[in-house]
């Protein structure tokens, strides 16, 4: 079953993007806005969306159980996805797409963690000049709707003109 992008996750991704450009303080000093901003800014997807790569990225695996089985994750256990609109190793997800689906960035060549195949790892230059990690020639992304490691809320979503899927250790999409 294809799912639509949840409105609350979309709002969170847009808020994260706005906060990245404006800072996390609210001008009203209401406290509630500050607490929301702090929570969103500290989420794994927000960190991925707003930080530039400072280290070599790691790609490993995690057993998600159920129909998904073993999937690719980053070095912190955050689920990685492919975007079916990417027909080559160059990303087509930029702007608001990249705010909702932050790319996995790396400084230098990424490394293979437990269960990942180093011969399938690569990189591609993004339109903004950053270096995105690829696996089996698929650019890799996080999902802003995954708030903690191991979540797969982006699986099988149809957003920004194509479907999003988790990958298995062979670099193939997993359809649930």
pLDDT, mean of residues 159-170: 98
**Is residue 44 situated within a structural domain?**
yes
Query: What pLDDT does 76 receive?
Result: 96
Structural domain of residue 110, as residue ranges? 7-174
Q: Which two tokens stand for residue 130?
A: 């950053």
Q: Which two tokens stand for residue 115?
A: 């269960």
Query: Could you report the per-residue pLDDT of 134-148, keeping only the tens digit for each?
Result: 999 999 999 999 999
Label residues 57-93 b or e (16+ Cβ within 10 Å = b): bbbbbbebeeebebbbbbeeebbbbbbeebeebebbb
Mean pLDDT rounded to a whole number for the chain:
79
**Complete DSSP assignment for 9-54:** HHHHHHHHHHHHHH-S--SS--SHHHHHHHHHHHSHHHHHHH----
Pair type for strands 162-167 and 81-83: antiparallel
**Is residue 1 situated within a structural domain?**
no
**Is residue 170 situated within a structural domain?**
yes
- Total domain count for the chain? 1
**Is residue 2 situated within a structural domain?**
no
Q: Which two tokens stand for residue 126?
A: 């993004």
Query: What pLDDT does 176 receive?
Result: 80
Query: Could you report the per-residue pLDDT of 37-76, keeping only the tens digit for each?
Result: 233 334 444 444 444 667 899 999 999 999 999 999 999 9
Q: Which residue has the higher pLDDT, 49 or 27?
A: 49
**Is residue 98 situated within a structural domain?**
yes
**Is residue 140 situated within a structural domain?**
yes
pLDDT, mean of residues 73-87: 98
**Is residue 41 situated within a structural domain?**
yes
**Is residue 133 situated within a structural domain?**
yes
């Amino acid at each position: 079953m294809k799912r639509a992008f949840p409105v609350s996750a979309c709002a969170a991704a847009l808020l994260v993007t706005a906060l990245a450009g404006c800072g996390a303080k609210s001008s009203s000093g209401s406290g509630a806005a500050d607490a929301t901003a702090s929570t969103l800014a500290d989420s794994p997807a927000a960190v991925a969306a707003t930080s530039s790569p400072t280290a070599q990225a790691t790609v490993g695996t995690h057993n998600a159980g159920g129909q998904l089985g073993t999937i690719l994750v980053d070095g912190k256990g955050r689920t990685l996805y492919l975007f079916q609109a990417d027909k080559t190793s160059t990303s087509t997800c930029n702007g608001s797409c990249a705010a909702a689906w932050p790319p996995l960035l790396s400084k230098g060549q990424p490394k293979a963690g437990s269960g990942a195949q180093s011969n399938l790892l690569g990189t591609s230059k993004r339109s903004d000049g950053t270096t995105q990690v690829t696996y089996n020639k698929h650019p890799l992304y996080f999902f802003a709707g995954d708030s903690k490691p191991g979540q797969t809320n982006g699986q099988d979503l149809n957003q920004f003109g194509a479907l999003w899927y988790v990958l298995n250790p062979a670099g193939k999409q997993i359809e649930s």
